[in-house]
Amino acid sequence: MSTAVPEGLAAAVTALRPFVDGRRENGELLADYFDGHRVLGDPAVLSALADALAERIAGLDVDCVAGEAVAGSSLATAVSLALHRGGRSVPVRALRREPKSRGVPGVLSAHVPEGSRFALVDDVAGTGACLERSVRRLRELRHEIVGAWVIVDRQDGAAARLEGLGVRLSALFTLNDFSTARTPLP
């Protein structure tokens, strides 16, 4: 099984102009903020990205695909569907930032048996704060994390941060793969 990124996928992502001026969760302004919603909103590109991520996850012993709401959970749903098309039924769960007290309470969108093995997905990894939060939440619920997969690794410390938690980060692209698509701040 090949895990190469399909030819032309970086160009298809770039064509959606996802690199914009934006702020990180900590308030830092970036001229090359990756707006994953621009990418996840395009069905053809989302499908291709989900297929590429699913190919990397398919051979692993995972019980569930999860991502933090909203971008991560949207991508997790697409990856779960791609795995299903490939013959693996792997349910998807959204991770909430805050526990819900009504409906299905807690940080997961639906119950998962204790000890389940999770593949975490997200659109981008920067410092790794969001992925670390997801890892810690799932571990508090006594689940295992098989690994974390993202579309873009900004290479701002996420891999080292997750490695410190015993979780490997895998990315389809690094920020450098899109160097010509970025515009520096004036």
Query: Residue 181: what pLDDT?
Result: 60
- Strand (E) positions, 60-128? 64-68, 92-100, 106-108, 117-125
Axis-axis angle for helices 43-57, 71-85 (nearest 10)? 70
Query: Residue 1: what pLDDT?
Result: 45
Tokens (6 digits) for 80: 């779960």
Query: Residue 6: what pLDDT?
Result: 85
Taking the chain (186 residues) in consecutive chunks of 10 residues, what is each chunk's mean pLDDT? 79 93 89 92 97 97 96 97 97 93 91 97 96 97 98 96 98 87 53
Q: Cα separation of 1 and 144, whole Å?
A: 25
Handedness of CA 148, 30, 182, 15 (dihedral sign): positive
119 beta partners: 65, 147
Query: Residue 182: what pLDDT?
Result: 56
Residue type, 55: E
147 beta partners: 119
Q: What is the pTM of this model?
A: 0.93
Cite the DSSP H helix spans in 25-123. Answer: 36-40, 43-57, 71-85
Query: Residue 180: what pLDDT?
Result: 62
Query: Residue 25: what pLDDT?
Result: 85
In contact, 138 and 146? CB cutoff 8 Å: no
118 beta partners: 64, 145
Tokens (6 digits) for 69: 């709401």
Tokens (6 digits) for 180: 């010509």
* Residue 180 CB burial class (10 angstroms; 0-12, 13-18, ≥19): exposed
